[in-house]
Amino acid sequence: MGSSVYNIAVILGLTMLVPSEAITVERTLIAVDIPVMAAATVLCVPAFLTGRTLSRAEGAAFVGCYIAYFAYLMLART
């Protein structure tokens, strides 16, 4: 877990210092994508606390959520 924290904190922070202009963030990122990421994180916690393994049903539920989110992204962008 240490390298993940390092990559997020240091590498992302350093790359934010490079551009000479402000980085624009789309409204859909704030309105849709960030809440979906937060919900996925919350959904992962109970699944990983049950013996640190995923059952087939839990895995299928996560894949189904991913497919639904991907379909939403494709339909919203067209």
**Tokens, residue 67:** 């497919």
Res 18: pLDDT: 80
Within-domain flag for 50: yes
Within-domain flag for 70: yes
Within-domain flag for 2: no
Burial 48-72 (b: 16+ CB within 10 A, else e): eeeeeeeeeebeeeeeeeeeebeee
| Mean pLDDT, residues 51-71 | 89
| Mean pLDDT, residues 54-76 | 91
Instruction: Specify the residue for token string 């994180």.
Output: 41
Within-domain flag for 18: no
Within-domain flag for 56: yes
- Number of structural domains in the chain: 1
Within-domain flag for 1: no
Within-domain flag for 60: yes
1-44 per-position pLDDT tens digit: 678 888 888 888 888 788 777 778 888 888 888 899 999 889 88
Give the range of the structural domain holding residue 48, as residue numbers without chain letter.
24-77
Of 25, 32, 24, 43, which Cα lies nearest the Cα of 75? Answer: 32
Q: What is the pTM of this model?
A: 0.62
Q: Using CA atoms, how far apart are residues 76 and 62, in angstroms rounded to an integer?
A: 21
